[in-house]
Amino acid sequence: MGSANRRSRTSILHPVARTQEFDANEALDRAVGVFWYKGYFDTSMDDLVQARGVAR
């Protein structure tokens, strides 16, 4: 039981690095494209989510 506590504290103090999955520049480029195509006021969150290709 003591070693399990040590492992959980260690993982909190030293998180494992992950590869970046989200590219902010790509997301911005896709959003700008949607705004240009549909217009600012006619663009919905669903339009932006669909353009990004992710689930809500």
CATH of the domain at 37: 1.10.10
Binned at pLDDT 50, 70 and 90, residue 12 comes out as low
Q: Find the domain containing 55 and state its range.
A: 19-56
Is 6 inside a domain boundary?
no
Q: What is the mean pLDDT of residues 9-19?
A: 62
pTM as predicted: 0.57
In this prediction, residue 47 carries a pLDDT of: 95
Residue length, the chain? 56
In this prediction, residue 21 carries a pLDDT of: 77
Rg of the chain over Cα atoms, rounded to whole angstroms, equals: 20
Q: How far is CA 17 from the centre of its chain?
A: 16
Q: What is the mean pLDDT of the chain?
A: 79
Q: How many domains does the chain have?
A: 1
In this prediction, residue 42 carries a pLDDT of: 97
Cα separations in angstroms, 48 against 7, 31, 55: 40, 6, 11
Q: How many helices (H) and strands (E) does the chain have?
A: 3, 0
